[in-house]
Every structure is written in C-alpha cells, then in structure tokens.
Structure 1
C-alpha cells in the first residue's frame, strides 16, 4: 500500500526535515505546503533529487480558516494523482503525526479497503443556523495575498457578522455540511474530488473555515451519487488538542500527553509543540517506523539537516 501525505506546516527547518524523513522512509510520498518563503526554498533545495518529496509550488502558502487551505490541499491531491498511484490520501496539518506504526495503519486501512474516513458532524447542527453562518460574507479572505496577521483576521470575522446583519451575504444555493478538516480518502474518491477542483475555488470565496466544509460537501455532491450509498466511516481518527476532538472554527491546539494517551484508537494526533512536548514528536515517529527493516542500507536517504543547511549556506555565499 502506498500513501500520499498532504501536509501543511509552519514548523522550523529541523522539524520539517525530520517529519519528511520519517514519513517517506517506507516508500510513501509527502506533498508539503510551507508558509515561510526561506524555509520553503531550503527544503526544496535539500530534496531536489528525492522523488518522494514534493514541495507545493502551484499554491505555496495556506492559512487555517481561509479558502487557501482547502484549495491548496485539493491541489496537492490533484498533483499526487498525476505523479503516482497512491492507495490513500492523508492530510496532516501543522504539528500532526502518526501515532501507530505504519504497518498497523496499513493493516487497518486494508481491513476497510476502499472506505473513506472523515467526520461529518452535520447531523448535530441546526441546518438553518449552519446555512446562515456559511453564507456570511468575510472580506479580506481569499485574496491573492492572504491576510496573515491577527488584526485583519479579527476584522474579517467581525465584518462578516456586520454585513450579515445588513443582509449582505455570499450568493450560494449549496446545502451546507460541516465536519472535521482531517481525512483519509481512498484513491477512487480522491480522483473524483481532484477532477472537481474548480468547485472548491468557486464555492468558498469569501468564506470562513472552508476546510471544515469542502470534504463532506464534495463527497455528497460528487461521490455518493448514481445510487452509491454513503458508506464512509464517520471518524477522522485524529486526537487533537486541547480536548481530544475537533472543535468548530479552530485548528488543532497544543495537545497534552494525557489527552493523547486517552485516545488509543486514533491513528494520528496533534498539535505537538516544540515548547513542552517535542519529545513526543520523536517518540511517535520512532513508533511509526519501528517495524521498518533496513534493506540494502535503505539507500542512505535520511537527511542530516545540519550538514545540509551548512552546505546550503556555503553555496549561497559562493
């Protein structure tokens, strides 16, 4: 089984290198959006000749709560399909990692072959209230240069409520759905979603937290059609901070170790922070690759970040 990891990160250089090394060690690929321009170039330089690592260039920057994250993830999915034949597509946002060995994850997915995993929470929402919220017009979002500071984001959110009171709303006739932004999608479903990439750009302009809506909405609109029953497994299989489960309109917050340990059923978890739980980051990546056997010296593909950054610095000076 071959996996495509669709990653969005703002981590520092050594952590990004470590994550990429660990996720690709057993033959899988990483498609990664890196928000920092300098870091993006450094990582691209390091993996220039490594065919399992793909630094996003069609859309380089993404932001939680903005169309950019949903759009960027679909672009990664589309590019992954064009590059290789992957069995599953798994998105990971900043500080998120596997919690079980790769062999355990593959065995679990093989047991449910062809199923999609994502959490659609629509049944727990008042549809009228959800539609009203979803049609709010949020200025300063989805621009060419996405608003990156907290002031503009707060202003956009406040303006959305103000314009809604005035009756100024986004024009859309969609039936809105909502759920966790994290997923594990089968090859068949990923191909369908990638083929309808334009839907994301057209449907979520000036919206808020598009990443919580585009997967359940696209699956209902394009996948579960022509008599196909909705047979997805309604779990995202992630434990996320601070309370262990996804919270509406919020990315993953720092995850305490006790919360992590309280969800042994989950395959992935985050956000692991460098400030106080970085040791978990290393511990769980060791678990992820614990069943990996070195074959033919594994081509010596692990990257020494310090040596490579020295080489990069020297090259730029010369």
Structure 2
C-alpha cells in the first residue's frame, strides 16, 4: 500500500520546470525574459553589484556621470588653436601681450606685466616657437637698464640675463642716454658678457637721449671737458662695433634736447661715418631738415626794445 502523500510528491516533482542552463554571472538573465529562470541570478540579488565591477571607461562611455548633459543642450566642441592660419595666431599673440610696454627693461613691475604672460610659452613646442619669436622680435630691448632704483647699477643688464637663442630673436635694441650723466654706472661697458654678438637679427638701433648736459642750465653741475658727451660717443661706437650688421639708427629725445648740441652732433658723426640710415622718432619730432632754434621769450621785468628816435621811455612788463 503506498504511503500517504508519496504520489502527491511525485506528481508535483513531475510538473516542476527544468533547472536553468548555467550562464556566467556577467550575462544575467533579463527580468523580462519569456522563460524566466527558476534560480535568481546575481543581478537579481543586487542590481548595483554589476555596475561596481565595470571599468570607469564603461561607466562614462555615454556621458558624464557628475554633470550629465541637459536635454536639448548642444555639446560644445573643443577649439583647436593650431588649426587657425598663422596670421590669425599672430593676432592672438598681439592681444595676449598687450600691456607689456614698448621697451623691455629690468623693472620691479615685470612680474605683473610680463612674467605671467610668458606662461603661454609652456603650452607646446609650436606655440613656444611662435610666441617667443613674436615677443622678442616685436618689443625693443634696452641694452643698459635706466631704472633709477636698484637696477641702474646692476652688473647684469637684461640683455646679459637672456639666453643666446632669445637674444637671436631680437630685432631692435635701444640705447638710452642721460641717466648717470654726472657719473655713469661702471656696468655701462660693452664686453662679451653683454651678448651683443648673439643679436644677429638686430637691424635697428634706437637711440633715445633723455638730457644733454651741455645745456646752459647744467652749468656748475656737469663734469668738465665735455665728459658725458665723450662717454656717450664712445659707448655708441662700441655698441655698433659689436653688431656690424646693423644698418638703421633711429634717434629720438625729449623736447629739451637740441640736435645742434654737442651730444647729438657727436652721435650723428658716428652714424654718418659708418654710412648708416638715419630716421627720427615721433616724440621729439625731428626731421632731416636743419633744426630751427626758437627765440627765447622775453622774461618778466626785462625792458622791451625801443626804436631809435622815440622818446626815452622804459616800458616794463
């Protein structure tokens, strides 16, 4: 006699669905399958466990997780600066270096005006070559520092602190005469350490005269025997001797300097003897014509000119 309940157990076992085929944990059976598995897969136990095992590239393949793109917003494309034509890149460098100033010299404000802008040179080799060439070939570099602070008597001018490849990119140097007219700094001397021989691309030498000690109001303060005039002429001659390829000299000065003065006449003699081309800066307004001396205005209290035959009356202003 069969045991009670045995048939029932066998009948139930006959109707049990067959077990699932073995699959890897990575290919979990979807929940919407037409033939669901009898045993729950790993994904069904923990839906976040599979995502935790994926790589970061797989998780971010469709977009950013932190800031997903908003619906309807276009994705911004990266801008390739080097795809621009070279003339447009030069315009960008022009805007970037705006505010540097026309002349480069040792100055306490260089960190604010220049140093931060030179960070563009660390971008890549192409930008380094282009931006370096634009920077050193556009601005004038002062040969001797004229800052009346700590840099006036420094032993290493800005030109001596540059690398040879940087000096080779310079196209214009400036010689400023006037500071130290009573006692020029000892470092104002042309020697190999200055690096003028590396400035192979310099085509123009700009000479700016701040003051002429030969003027009458320097009487009693200047050194005798035209000391500063002789010093300036010798210094100017030594600079040109180090760069025989220079063919253009531009003169400019402050309004009080006269072209007919002893200082300017000595400098012009050096340029004329070498057969160099002479141009004039905009500040002083000199031209190739002879300088016209302005008649001094009558001072207050001086008697005016009275023609002969008129009554002897002295008119005082």
Same fold by TM-score greater than 0.5 = no
TM-score, with structure 1 as normaliser = 0.20
Higher strand share: 1
Larger radius of gyration: 2
TM-score, with structure 2 as normaliser = 0.20
Higher helix share: 1
